[in-house]
Structure formats: structure tokens, C-alpha cells
Amino acid sequence: MIITIEEKQFDTKEITQLYPAVVIKTGYEDETTQVSLEWIEVEGKGKVEVVGYGVFINLGEEEKYSFVFDTREEMDVAIGKIAAQLKK
């Protein structure tokens, strides 16, 4: 099955991970890292600087794609579009 995210197509057979996450600043220069949505709500709220919200895809060990959005709402819309494609 082929799914499309932001005009990029992926074969679901090749996807090893597909997950949402929050991108935050680590506090070291301009370095960022990903944390779970749950962590940001429970532990990180107001304690870290959020850079964006993303959908991340790994194809095997090496190939990775990031789709980062400014708001959680934008990410949620993208996740909804992915879910609708997977239900077909």
C-alpha cells in the first residue's frame, strides 16, 4: 500500500517506524531532539522550548524522513490524513 505525506509517497511495506513527536531545543546551541507527545504534556510543559511538532518515518536503519509543523493542530491534521489512507 502506498501512502502520501506532504506530497511524498511511501510504500507501507518499507516503513519500519512511523510516529508523531515534539521537536524541542536541547539547550546546547541550536541542537534539537524529539520527545514523545506524552512527555511534553506531563513532564516538559513550560520547561522546554518547543520548536515544532512532527511526523517521523524510518525506512530501515538508514533512511529517515521528517515532516515538522509549527503547531500541534497542523500535525494532527497530517496524522488524520495518514490514518484515512491506512483505513482504505
Please state, in angstroms and rounded to a whole number, the distance separating the CA atoms of residues 54 and 20: 6
Query: pLDDT-derived band of residue 8, with 50, 70 and 90 as boundaries?
Result: very high
* 60 DSSP assignment: T
- Report the chain's mean pLDDT, rounded to a whole number: 94
Degrees to nearest 5, angle at CA 51 with 45 and 53: 80
Indicate whether 46 pLDDT > 90: no
| Residue 61 scores a pLDDT above 90 | no
| Entry pTM | 0.89
Confidence of residue 13 (pLDDT cuts 50, 70, 90): very high
DSSP character for 39?
H
Q: How confident is the model at residue 45 (pLDDT cuts 50, 70, 90)?
A: confident
What span, in angstroms and rounded, lies between the C-alpha atoms of 19 and 21? 7
